[in-house]
Amino acid sequence: MDKVVTCMAPVNIATIKYWGKRDEHLILPLNDSVSLTLDCDQMHSQTSVVAGPFVKKDTVMLNGHVMPIETNERLQRCFSLIRKLIKEKKGENCPEAQWNIRVCSENNFPTAAGLASSAAGYACLVYTLANAFDLVTEDLPAIARQGSGSACRSIYGGFVHWKAGKDDLGSDSTAVQIATEAHWPEMRIIILVVNDSHKKTSSTVGMKKSVETSELLQYRVNKCVPERTKDIIEAIINKNFVKFAEITMRDSNQFHAICLDTYPPCVYLNGVSHEIITFIHDYNDAAGHVKVSYTFDAGPNAFLFILEKDLDLFMSELIQVFPSDKSKSKYIRGIKSTNPDQV
């Protein structure tokens, strides 16, 4: 291979959150999760790969900084799974499996700030490597998952269901598309960037602490998520916005309740996040039904869901209450063409 392959992958926003692993090494989740993948021309990772006998050693650059691969188990795992696929496809002794790989990746939005950068990053890495070696197969979500769990959902566009599975080796822990990006074109997402600095507790550390200490986590995993997952998939298929929006808010709130039930607690939301939550509920109450919903990942930044018809009125009120010095809003115009596209 003497060409550079460059791909882009978008972030995905979970409406049913993945929180807690049953296997730390294979990154197998305790519960199912559901997400919506954004448009590739909005928040995305862009990754270039070059490989060949002339590349001296494996290197990864992220946002202009060299990443220490030797101490990064997840990067190493993605590389070795791709090499395993190369051998399966091209023969045990094929030269490509011995080549070193140089990777250069950039996010066009803040990294590690609770804006799903690792989902886009690992989906993009795996997809680009697979393209570079002509290996695009249905195994890609499983490989991306072992970089960052939520990355398996960014391999697909539209609405995606990551099934937790039961198997100890993870053969049934996989992402499937519920509906394509064309399914619900009226859906809009607004991202309110409350704080774009690095989060204090990474998702990996936070969810490990929750598994070890939260008494509520098992209740969520066994009693709440299965029914919610079924209901939100139904709401997505039927384009029932009120149901979709309510489940999304309840699940975000429950996820952050688990974070607070973790000991010592993981506090991801801040005062502005709580003001946004109050504002959304007041807005919906005044409207007489749910017109807009929120969800927060492991950070203070809000992802809002709203239908196109309600957008202009809502934005005019939002901007008055949260002028740009308080929160920077990014208005995402659509969720179209969200597969990681080769560029």
Interacting residue ranges for ligand PMV, rule: CB under 6 A: 14, 17-19, 33, 116, 118-119, 148-150, 203-204, 297-298
Looking at the Cβ atoms of 1 and 112, the one nearer to ligand PMV is 112
Which of 123, 164, 166, 130 shows the shortest CA–CA distance to 146? 123
Q: Which residues are CB-contacts of 332 (< 8 A; sequence separation ≥ 6)?
A: 38, 39, 42, 43, 188, 189, 190, 191
Distance CA 9, CA 160 (A): 15
Looking at the Cβ atoms of 36 and 85, the one nearer to ligand PMV is 36
> What DSSP line would sit under 65-92, residue for residue?
EEE-GGG-HHHHHHHHHHHHHHHHHH-T
Residue that is written with structure tokens 């448009």 in the block: 39
Least distance between ligand PMV and beta carbon 87 (Å): 27
CB neighbourhood size of 235 (10 A): 20
Q: Which residues are CB-contacts of 317 (< 8 A; sequence separation ≥ 6)?
A: 283
Looking at the Cβ atoms of 241 and 303, the one nearer to ligand PMV is 303
Least distance between ligand PMV and beta carbon 153 (Å): 7
Looking at the Cβ atoms of 204 and 253, the one nearer to ligand PMV is 204
Least distance between ligand PMV and beta carbon 14 (Å): 3
- Determine the residue type at 215: E
Q: How far is CA 172 from CA 151, 154, 166, 181, in A?
A: 16, 18, 7, 24
- Determine the residue type at 61: M
Token pair in block for residue 289 = 């039904």
Least distance between ligand PMV and beta carbon 286 (Å): 30
Looking at the Cβ atoms of 111 and 204, the one nearer to ligand PMV is 204
Token pair in block for residue 305 = 């869901």
Looking at the Cβ atoms of 33 and 214, the one nearer to ligand PMV is 33
Which helix (DSSP H) or strand (DSSP E) does residue 202 occupy? Answer: none
Least distance between ligand PMV and beta carbon 202 (Å): 8
Least distance between ligand PMV and beta carbon 58 (Å): 22
